[in-house]
Amino acid sequence: MKYILQFEKKGLMAYISHLDLQRVFLRVLRMTDHRPAYSHGFNPHPKLSIALPLSLGFTSDCEYLEVQSEKPWLTKDKDGDFVPVLKILNARLPKGIAFTAIYEKNAEQTKTLSALCIAAEYEMTVPNVTIREADLVQYLSREEILAEKRIKKTGKMELRNIRPLVYAFAVESLPDGSGVFRCKLAAGAQTISPLILLSAFFAESGMPLDVSEVSVKRTKIIFP
């Protein structure tokens, strides 16, 4: 039995890492008597994973936890919903993390969610900026956008063309003077942090950017 639990990660929980959060989920499931299945072998580990890591400090509207269990541990209410289970789990979770939906995974789908996901959408709020949409459009019309990117294999920062990884990039100015940048980026096998794109754009426009003042939220993970 495989389940997919959709959750949001907000507030202070943004500072809890991928691995730490997986451990929190494991404990909360155990508190409610739900048990994930364990892998076999010398050092068995629970079959529970979060689809896509989220950088420390980012919040998210929709993340996915994938859990496999030996026996079905979710009972539906009379309307066929898993809602009561979510309520019980949410009552135990730390503030900032809440399950928003739960699905049974199609048994034929053998790939994990993390192998399936192809893109993600982000929202970045920058205080006190004035950006014209047209500048962004022009920026995006280039064939090449060079940015420093950490290379997975070597762990080193290298200059790469990130343009193929950017699917969309837009901005909206809010009345309080801040700008909300929305982007859709490749995720999964090929990944790029939205802050790399934003920094590259600001550098190109000759504007200063203090990334510690930017709040980043993932709004969507896209599967084919």
Q: Which residues bind other proteins (CB under 8 A)?
A: 11-13, 15-17, 20-21, 23-24, 26-31, 35, 56-57, 92-96, 212-213
Place of tokens 């200063």: 208
What's the min distance (Å) between Cβ of 16 and other proteins? 5
| Beta strand extents in 157-213 (DSSP E only) | 157-161, 166-173, 179-186
Min dist. Cβ of residue 224 to other proteins (A): 32
Residue whose CB is less far from other proteins, 91 or 151: 91
Strands (E), 136-214: 146-150, 157-161, 166-173, 179-186
Amino acid at 123: E
Residue with smaller CB distance to other proteins, 56 or 170: 56
Q: Could you tell me whether strands 59-68 and 215-222 are parallel, antiparallel, or unpaired per DSSP bridges? A: parallel
For other proteins, the closer CB: 29 or 221: 29
| Closest CB 3 distance from other proteins, rounded Å | 17
Q: How far are the Cα atoms of 147, 179, 193, 207 from residue 123, in angstroms, in the given order?
A: 19, 10, 12, 19
Shortest distance in whole angstroms from residue 11 CB to other proteins? 8
Phi, psi of 186 (to 5 degrees): -65, 145
CB of 47 to other proteins, least distance (A): 15
Nearer to other proteins, 70 or 81 (CB): 70
d(CA 149, CA 157): 5
Q: With respect to other proteins, which residue has the nearer C-beta, 89 or 200? A: 89
